[in-house]
Structure 1
């Protein structure tokens, strides 16, 4: 379900990405086995208890590769939350398939929450889970069985196992976000017998669980990157119970890939950034109610064009004032400038080609976008 990523990442990873910054590793024994994880710690400028996001790797992959592939760390560094990348047994998560892992991964994630909470200042009301492929399947299992601790979940290219659906009785509305490409050949959008229900069935299940009225608002997002062979439709279910939103980013023409990843393996959409969109969704919720963003501003998308750029790029900001920063894939700032107007011109002609994050801090608000320098 993702077994092509490990080999290609080893071939493509630049040295700057291999040298992860502010990421710690840890392990503990659970159920008679040594379980390990990687943890991205927020900058020290963020005080108080912080949110925690689990980001789960795909089948055949691992925590290190998922950290590099999803590129969630820059979003976490900006918004001030922890990201934990656990390792599954035999590079897999137990989601109900007849193959892969048979480990008690729900119990492991619960124990991992306890372990991290004993060492770091983590807000128990703001713990979330997302994942790629097999990791997305696992996120849904956590929504079914651990939603007393997990506030919301997101899946990228994942689904639910047909035989497991009848076993999922969440007992409450659980906010869910699904990001999926219509041309995904590994976890097909139309589903696959015995392995995955269709995305239409998946959304219908969570609409029913969350008491949505069956209608959906559909909007087409701007095609800001004309070279990625895909577009994005945003589908939001309507009339859902309190705290039970069901969101879907349909990547039209997209493959089995994480939008916004700098590793364009197959059709990878660059109109949105999967990691930023996931946090934008998560930051709305707590286990017991809708979240107040007063002490943890959620990033919103920046308008960047042209994207890709060969030198200059225009940035449209929510307001004037503040600071703009351009950060490379290793988390190192390459441009800093004060914001005097809502329209800013960035000159990237002196920076190397590659993927960059553009962050704007304006008062208590944070805006973020990804820019490709060709």
Structure 2
């Protein structure tokens, strides 16, 4: 299994280089259309730059080739030091969107070495929850996506931010799937409703150690899972399985409102996106396929 090294030079790529796949990413930014409803016409298939929000780098929106109005939307959050282009490249999420008929929005965080303000209290950092709410609204409108089928995933710092959205934007998020982002500390996490959670983690992760390390928020995947089981009102023991050699899957399904808390541990995987670029589990565990299958299974209640 290839390992994704997250020490990527934190230099913003030019907007024109944010093409996620062959598409229209080099065209002028497109302003979000009215929210999807009867008769909504989505942007053409391919990659587009939405008009900048809050003065930030334009969000890349990839509309899958088979996408129809009312299809799901996935929000993909890159890790620290990464851009939207980086995340799209190593996850290959746009190719999966083409194949399965959905849209993916790729935002980039702020800073010379971009990173998300997970706690909301980092000095000099903006309110990323508020920003990503605007991103979701713009992407849903432009893709004519179903606002009740918005899922969020991300890696490392982006994975932690996806969990923060589950805490603070459960009115918009149907499910969250952080990868290498099972931070043990999500202070003041009070979702308005139960949120399905899938956490994927490498047993050999040296950046966010599986068993945790000193600073709050630096690991402890079991503590992260315990927090979400409590928040989602899960009862009983997990169902354990091994979908691949060296992979352990734990699934708690006796939770409130029919949600699920799930965890996939890849024993020998270091920090990153296990199975990067793979869309199927042919050669081993594929995080892109696994996160999409999980996110697409849920619809936000009341949506």
Normalised-by-shorter TM-score class: 0.7 to 0.9
Q: 1:2 touches 1:58 (CA, 8 Å); kept in 2?
A: no
Tell me if 1:211 matches 2:261: no
- Residue 249 of structure 2 is matched in structure 1 by 234
- Residue 245 of structure 1 is matched in structure 2 by 260
Q: 2:155 touches 2:181 (CA, 8 Å); kept in 1?
A: yes
How do residues 253-264 of structure 1 correspond to structure 2 at under 5 angstroms?
253-262=268-277
Q: 2:184 touches 2:224 (CA, 8 Å); kept in 1?
A: no
Tell me if 1:280 matches 2:293: yes
From 49, 52, 59, the counterpart of 1:37: 59
Q: CA shift at 1:29, angstroms? A: 3.5
RMSD: 2.6
- Ranges in structure 2 where 5+ consecutive residues have no aligned partner: 14-18, 24-45
Q: CA shift at 1:64, angstroms? A: 0.4
Tell me if 1:47 matches 2:47: no
SS in 1 for 2:96: helix
From 187, 191, 194, the counterpart of 1:173: 194
Tell me if 1:131 matches 2:162: no
Tell me if 1:271 matches 2:284: yes
- Residue 114 of structure 1 is matched in structure 2 by 137
- Residue 159 of structure 1 is matched in structure 2 by 182
Take 1:100 and 1:252, find their aligned partners in 2: how far apart are those partners? 36
Q: How many residues align?
A: 265
How do residues 218-367 of structure 1 correspond to structure 2 at under 5 angstroms?
218-223=240-245, 231-262=246-277, 270-288=283-301
Q: Is the alpha carbon distance of 1:134 and 1:101 closer, same or farther for their aligned partners in structure 2, counting shifts above 3 Å? A: farther
Q: Is the alpha carbon distance of 1:158 and 1:205 closer, same or farther for their aligned partners in structure 2, counting shifts above 3 Å? A: same
SS in 2 for 1:205: helix
TM norm structure 1 = 0.65
Take 1:100 and 1:191, find their aligned partners in 2: how far apart are those partners? 25
State the structure with more CA Rg. 1
Q: 1:2 touches 1:59 (CA, 8 Å); kept in 2?
A: no
Take 2:59 and 2:5, find their aligned partners in 1: how far apart are those partners? 19
From 110, 119, 131, the counterpart of 1:89: 110
Q: CA shift at 1:262, angstroms? A: 4.2
TM norm structure 2 = 0.80
Q: Is the alpha carbon distance of 1:289 and 1:276 closer, same or farther for their aligned partners in structure 2, counting shifts above 3 Å? A: farther
From 195, 209, 217, the counterpart of 2:217: 195
Q: 2:73 touches 2:102 (CA, 8 Å); kept in 1?
A: yes
- Ranges in structure 1 where 5+ consecutive residues have no aligned partner: 11-16, 224-230, 264-268, 291-374
Q: Is the alpha carbon distance of 1:100 and 1:81 closer, same or farther for their aligned partners in structure 2, counting shifts above 3 Å? A: farther
Deviations 1:247-279, CA, capped at 9 Å, x for gaps:
11111111112122149xxxxx95121111111
